[in-house]
């Protein structure tokens, strides 16, 4: 894995604008399918709104974009806690992406069954039962980081951290409010990306960001090791302890 790159913006709005333009540029640089894994949170919401607004909406090659999620809470899709709902309201409902290109994590079944169903969907899209480092699953994987150092729904000390033979796993007891079961991508799936981009904003993340950048493996975000690039898009407040 290459050394991570750190890109610092003045504030969350500047960060969102920079990453939105970066995504569009990466998508336009290719010709085939473009797989983008989405994250939840307030900073990604602003990013999604920018992608759905002009001038970026017109420049993004939506017909060949495929959307995935790094994790989801097992709540109805119309719930305020749904990562799908947030992305749909901020972006998906406002762009010309084919409905079949939106690969939401299923939530109707039990968390274990939902994880299995999503893993099957990922494998069907990828076209193989095994991940090949030379052919990443995602073009871009957007991730956030909590103040406790978690990413996606991989929480400190939870069994999902050790899932190496699965692409998606259930998280029956998350370590963060809302305390509802979740489905998360495992490290092998998160790492199968041409670029993993962490979006981290706010002084409440500063202490954990310093520990993650120091490589402290107790924090789940520090264990992300993509086959491609690793980029930390951060604002000045998040970098205040580094």
Instruction: Please check the confidence at residue 186 and state whether its pLDDT lies above 70.
Output: yes
Q: Which secondary structure element, helix H or strand E, spans residue 6, and what is its range?
A: strand 5-9
- Mean predicted confidence (pLDDT) in 31-42: 94
Could you say which of 3.30.360.10, 3.40.30.10, 3.40.50.920, 3.40.50.1360 is the CATH number of the domain covering 29-219?
3.40.50.1360
Q: What residue ranges in 32-74 does DSSP mark as E strands?
A: 34-38, 65-69, 71-73
Residue of 68, 54, 59, 70 lying closest to 22 (CA atoms)? 59
pTM of the model: 0.96
Which pair of structure tokens corresponds to residue 15? 């960060």
Helix, strand, or coil here: 227? coil
In a 10 Å sphere around its CB, with 0-12 CB exposed, 13-18 middle and 19+ buried, how is residue 107 labelled? buried
Residues 6+ apart with CB under 8 A from 50: 16, 17, 20, 56
Instruction: Please state, rounded to an integer, the average pLDDT across all residues of the chain.
Output: 95
Which pair of structure tokens corresponds to residue 86? 């947030």
pLDDT at 91 (0 to 100): 98
- Per domain, the residue ranges of the chain are 29-219
Instruction: Give 87-135 pLDDT, tens digit per residue.
Output: 999 999 999 999 999 999 999 889 999 999 999 999 999 999 999 999 9
């Amino acid at each position: 894995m290459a050394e991570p790159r750190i890109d610092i913006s003045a504030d969350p709005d500047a960060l969102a604008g920079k990453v939105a333009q970066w995504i569009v540029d990466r998508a336009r640089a290719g010709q085939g399918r473009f797989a983008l894994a989405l994250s939840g949170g307030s900073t990604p919401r602003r990013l999604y709104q920018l992608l759905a607004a002009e001038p970026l909406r017109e420049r993004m090659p939506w017909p060949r974009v495929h959307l995935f999620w790094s994790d989801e809470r097992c709540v109805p899709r119309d719930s305020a806690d749904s990562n799908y709902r947030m992305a749909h309201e901020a972006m998906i409902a406002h762009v010309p992406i084919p409905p079949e290109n939106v690969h939401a994590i299923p939530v109707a079944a039990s968390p274990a069954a939902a994880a299995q169903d999503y893993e099957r969907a990922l494998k069907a899209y990828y076209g193989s039962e095994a991940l090949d480092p030379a052919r990443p699953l995602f073009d871009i994987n957007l991730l956030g980081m909590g103040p406790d150092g978690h990413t996606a729904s991989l929480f400190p000390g939870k069994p999902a951290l050790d899932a190496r033979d699965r692409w998606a796993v259930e998280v029956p007891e998350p370590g963060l409010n809302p305390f509802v079961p979740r489905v998360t991508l495992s490290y092998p799936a998160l790492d199968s990306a041409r670029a993993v981009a962490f979006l981290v904003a706010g002084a409440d993340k500063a202490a954990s960001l310093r520990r993650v950048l120091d490589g402290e493996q107790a924090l789940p975000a520090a264990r992300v090791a993509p086959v491609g690039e690793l980029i930390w898009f951060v604002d000045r407040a998040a970098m205040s302890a580094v």
